[in-house]
């Protein structure tokens, strides 16, 4: 007889009621008298555990099972019995219990509250705890929801390169990738390091964004998206920054900034609806133990339109605010987290797109507006987190783009292929980047990025 | 009025027949007399293009449209008319045509056959060609099919780390990741490079496999899979190797090598069925222009059981073969591509799992069989490609694993967390790795890995 995974028991309880089944899983709790025992086991296929009742009268190895410690693995044959009077909907009356794997007494995840900091040190075991079981299942479901959203809308998924020889992105500090022997670096006659002898024949780094490459595909497939790891070698130890994180970057041809906002809004709502539907147990857990009010906030988001405000209007609102800001507000400054959160949490009380930022504080590839001062940028701010999406309509006009590249002292040659896109059928197009961990934090209520990444990489930390 | 994407026109032609619609897309061909013109346009949302008929009598800018070059972008308003006598099912009779973006005369992708080598040099434009439009749409669909397969089977998707400080994988040459200034490397008193000053406080590399980390999640969630980029710094310039490629690594607790093979077989069949269903136009194109016999081969695979043979039996078969091999066969050797292809192409004429290899030629983590000589490894060989999957049941017995680590001169300390999995509920488990590009080559018939990667990275090549 094949064993049944716990999820099936919870989803299709009727199919198994009164029947003899086999289940496998790890001990979560185990208590017994000298006649009876109750062991809760979980196999990871579902958030909830199943209670198994074992009796000395029926189980030949009662003493062995009564001693089975937390995290030991059992194989249970028994009957599924409904328990309408109990908290749990059913239990298994064991006929046979076999220990498939034992566990040492020094198992670090004993049944008590552990700090999140401690659990980070045992990242190889923490997915066995309730909190991380919920976090990483939701992470998996959100990743899938994102793929499903874009595939249903006929977007092509493109794997942009991780190792990049292109210096064109210019968005923050990068990690060097090399196979040179650092103890015997080859030198040119000038004394400079001879990168022509490196693996790729030149200097290479880890990507900070797949956007520029995604644009090349958008101008072939119309609708494309990336979903892959990106890297920032910034020495910032905050709860919101990791050195290695995943990013989603859709890019759409024949689209302007308004199409872009509509896409972002429907994507966010789709993801949240999908998670509420497919991970309700986990979401109730977060709402109860991690972030009270989480479900109300998410329900509020899916049932309301996002707000839209221009940067210029936003600066006006902030200047008139009663609140004292640490960073004074005037037109031209980059909005700080305190400003962003004031807008989304105090003024709009829901997600808000801020658009049309001064060109000086945005990237070279954003489309210059008619006023000559602002660009068609859009940032999405959400309550509790701040910026979660950054995007723009791209500058599709060859001359404007070249001007901007030169204005900023960038090297036109480095952008030959990016400029080509503007020479050959370079229609208007737009896109954005969504930080994957940011949306997971937003949906789960977890407040540290280290707790939504399986094995986080941050300054001085690359364990496991 | 909103424009309609071409895919919708092909999928729901009836909804638009006889109606006025707007479409946008890029010119693929354009020919005209002084009264009539025919322009084929494609918007990337579908493999096929749409023919637009424009007449001088109705179009005020007839001369401008007649001159629109390949890759210029047009916006067409007109009526969809069925054309049952023609090759294409319908065409658009234009009432208005607007040029949304022009194109230069030096556009490199003119209407003629280009070599695949030439197209690699313009990787930013090649997705606009028929071949690469088909390749990269199939790549996207196969990626999604893989996610769908695992999610439908309740697997948790886990993002294992890309940057790794763990030296535990030991599978080939790695890329160094660093933020040290190579011109001013910090040195300890001993004269050695002081990696404690590097970004992560120690030496780090790009991952070659997420398996060991995936195992930690499998022993929490039962069923997990990875899907991410992996790296090999091998200086091998072959048609089957890239320095950066994507890999899928499922890992299942309570599973043995037979469960593992069953999973791999159903996954491969699922992927192929999904692709045949969702990319039929593309698959017909490959069958006609890239690899005649492709569809027959794929249909053969989905409708037959895969073969299974032990390494020992396989060596026996190969020793008795009439064929002269370059590498002589005897028990203990690693099978070469010539042997693998002989088995799958000549003997079985379908996919075959080879199992139970000598422990000496396989990795330390594979489970030792009862005979003490072989391990519970499984490789899947397929006609035309050779090895496409490598996997095994993992050694779950603490003492056996430690012995093997010491036998191979590895450092037990490096494996502390991996060994922990064997101390705390370490049940039997198994998994495998599927090279994503290998399966794309197999499904499309493309014979060079450089032509199934959007922007391939190979020795001395990291363009775009």
Closest CA to A227 of B286, B228, B315: B228
Mean pLDDT computed over B286-301: 95
- The confidence score (pLDDT) of residue A166 equals 75
| Smallest CA–CA distance from A44 into chain B, residue | B221
Q: Which of B124, B157, B216 sits opposite A417 (nearest CB)?
A: B124
How far apart are the C-alpha atoms of B346 and B150, rounded to whole Å? 32
Q: Which of B164, B223, B244 sits opposite A162 (nearest CB)?
A: B244
Q: Which of B44, B424, B459 sits opposite A107 (nearest CB)?
A: B424
Residue B412 confidence (pLDDT) above 70: yes
Task: Mark yes or no for CB contact B161/A454 under 8 Å.
Answer: yes
Contact A24, A43 (CB under 8 A): yes
pLDDT, one tens digit per residue, over A145-167 is: 999 999 999 999 999 999 998 76
Q: Which of A157, A220, A423 sits opposite B128 (nearest CB)?
A: A220
DSSP string across B385-415: TEEEEEEEEB---HHHHHHHHHHTT--GGGG
Residues of A in contact with B420 (CB under 8 A): 124-125
Please give the C-alpha separations between residue B376 and each of B217, B286, B309, B319, B390, in angstroms, as whole numbers: 21, 37, 12, 22, 11
Residue B169 confidence (pLDDT) above 80: no
How far apart are the C-alpha atoms of A53 and A59, rounded to whole Å? 10
Task: Mark yes or no for CB contact B154/A45 under 8 Å.
Answer: yes
Provide the ipTM: 0.97
Task: Mark yes or no for CB contact B424/A104 under 8 Å.
Answer: yes
Residues of A in contact with B243 (CB under 8 A): 163, 199-200
* Helical ranges in B153-279 per DSSP H: 211-221, 257-278
Residue A170 confidence (pLDDT) above 80: no
What confidence tier does A171 reach under pLDDT thresholds 50, 70, 90? low
What confidence tier does A384 reach under pLDDT thresholds 50, 70, 90? confident
Output the average pLDDT for chain A: 95
CA–CA min distance B330, chain A (Å): 36
A313 half-sphere exposure, CB direction, 13 A CA radius: 11
Q: Which of B124, B178, B216 sits opposite A420 (nearest CB)?
A: B124
pLDDT, one tens digit per residue, over A172-191 is: 689 999 999 999 999 999 99
Q: Which of B103, B166, B420 sits opposite A424 (nearest CB)?
A: B103
Residues of B in contact with A185 (CB under 8 A): 182
Residue B170 confidence (pLDDT) above 70: no
Mean pLDDT computed over B276-287: 98
Token pair recorded at residue A170: 């210019």
CA–CA min distance B442, chain A (Å): 18
| Smallest CA–CA distance from B6 into chain A, residue | A222
Task: Mark yes or no for CB contact B182/A193 under 8 Å.
Answer: yes
CA–CA min distance B405, chain A (Å): 17
- The confidence score (pLDDT) of residue A112 equals 79
| Smallest CA–CA distance from B146 into chain A, residue | A144
Residues of B in contact with A423 (CB under 8 A): 103-104, 107
pLDDT, one tens digit per residue, over B75-119 is: 999 999 999 999 999 999 999 999 999 999 999 998 778 999 999
How far apart are the C-alpha atoms of A331 and B249, rounded to whole Å? 50
Give burial (CB, 10 Å; 0-12/13-18/19+) of B16. Answer: middle
- The confidence score (pLDDT) of residue B172 equals 66
| Smallest CA–CA distance from A200 into chain B, residue | B460
- The confidence score (pLDDT) of residue B385 equals 82
Residue A289 confidence (pLDDT) above 60: yes
pLDDT, one tens digit per residue, over A181-238 is: 999 999 999 999 999 999 999 999 999 999 999 999 999 999 999 999 999 999 989 9
Output the average pLDDT for chain B: 95
Find which of A43-52, A320-329, B105-114 is predicted with most confidence, using mean pLDDT.
Answer: A43-52
- A87 vs B277: which has the higher pLDDT: B277
How far apart are the C-alpha atoms of A273 and A268, rounded to whole Å? 9
Task: Mark yes or no for CB contact B220/A143 under 8 Å.
Answer: no
| Smallest CA–CA distance from B143 into chain A, residue | A157
pLDDT, one tens digit per residue, over A426-443 is: 999 999 999 999 999 999
Task: Mark yes or no for CB contact B136/A221 under 8 Å.
Answer: yes
- The confidence score (pLDDT) of residue A202 equals 94
């Amino acid at each position: 007889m094949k064993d049944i995974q716990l999820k099936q028991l919870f989803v299709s309880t009727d199919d198994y009621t009164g029947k003899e089944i086999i289940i496998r899983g790890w001990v979560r709790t185990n208590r017994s008298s000298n006649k009876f025992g109750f062991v809760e086991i979980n196999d990871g296929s579902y958030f909830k555990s199943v209670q198994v009742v074992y009796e000395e009268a029926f189980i030949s190895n009662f003493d062995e099972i009564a001693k089975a410690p937390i995290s030991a693995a059992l194989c249970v044959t028994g009957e599924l019995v409904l328990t309408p009077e109990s908290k749990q909907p059913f239990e298994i009356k064991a006929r046979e219990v076999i220990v498939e794997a034992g566990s040492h007494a020094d198992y670090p995840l004993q049944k008590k509250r552990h700090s999140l900091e401690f659990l980070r040190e045992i990242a190889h075991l923490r997915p066995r705890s309730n909190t991380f079981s919920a976090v990483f299942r939701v992470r998996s479901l959100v990743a899938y929801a994102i793929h499903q959203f874009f595939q249903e809308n006929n977007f092509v998924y493109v794997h942009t390169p991780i190792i990049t020889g292109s210096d064109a992105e210019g968005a923050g500090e990068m990690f060097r990738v090399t196979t040179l022997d650092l103890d015997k670096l080859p030198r040119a006659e000038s004394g400079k390091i001879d990168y022509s002898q490196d693996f790729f024949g030149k200097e290479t780094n880890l990507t900070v964004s797949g956007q520029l490459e995604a644009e090349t595909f958008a101008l072939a497939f119309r609708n494309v998206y990336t979903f892959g790891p990106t890297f920032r070698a910034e020495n910032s130890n905050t709860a919101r920054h990791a050195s290695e994180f995943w990013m989603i970057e859709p890019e759409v041809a024949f689209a302007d900034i308004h199409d872009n906002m509509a896409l972002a809004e429907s994507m966010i709502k789709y993801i949240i609806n999908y998670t509420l539907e497919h991970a309700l147990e986990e979401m109730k857990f977060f709402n109860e133990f991690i972030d009270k009010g989480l479900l109300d906030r998410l329900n509020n988001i899916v049932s309301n339109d996002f707000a839209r405000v221009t940067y210029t209007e936003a600066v006006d609102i902030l200047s008139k605010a009663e609140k004292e800001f640490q960073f004074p507000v005037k037109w031209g400054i980059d909005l700080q987290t305190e400003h962003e959160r004031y807008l989304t949490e105090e003024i709009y009380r829901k997600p808000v797109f801020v658009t049309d930022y001064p060109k000086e504080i945005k990237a070279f590839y954003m489309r210059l507006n008619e006023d000559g001062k602002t660009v068609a940028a859009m940032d999405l701010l959400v309550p509790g987190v701040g910026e979660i999406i950054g995007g723009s309509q791209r500058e599709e006009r060859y001359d404007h783009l070249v001007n901007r590249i030169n204005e900023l002292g960038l090297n036109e040659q480095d952008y030959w292929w990016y400029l080509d896109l503007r020479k050959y059928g370079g229609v208007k197009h737009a896109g954005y980047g969504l930080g994957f961990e940011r949306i997971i934090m937003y949906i789960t209520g977890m407040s540290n990025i280290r707790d939504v990444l399986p094995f986080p990489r941050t300054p001085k930390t690359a364990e496991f």
